[in-house]
Chain A
């Protein structure tokens, strides 16, 4: 089991550029979550999917953020256009069942820096 795989590990981009973060969940996990971590706001849930369907996107900051899960083994989080305040560590996590029935398995995160 390779765990949740995220890419890239680090991303440095200029303000206004498009950024795409990628995630491969653990095989067999039906739930996928995108979290953002900053010093000021801690761990915030952005969006989560169940069986590839978005369930709750109320945490997505604004229209500049979008997430997709075209199949059970792949998800993307896109920011367009990026802004300096988007700088954070973005974690993808997956779980077998819902968040109250099984633990979240986090990936190693993508550290995004927008200059």
Chain B
């Protein structure tokens, strides 16, 4: 158990819908990272937050957004969902040492 929690574990929804994925980092970690893992693209970095502020952006679509709250949990919002958004979404957290610890992931299926 990495200490990073993600909910829900599975999510099935339809095209055009909007979903919210939630992540709670390890106790004491200020950084939260979001990743998307799909069969054809591998593990892709989406966005990083550090202590409530956006720190870095990767290959995140405009339809996707994220935030980190004062209690350090983070949410990833995916809207206008398309079939190609079906993937495993991971959250990771890190302390100042930069070693990342991953949550169990949310498996999103868009039908």
Partners in one complex: no
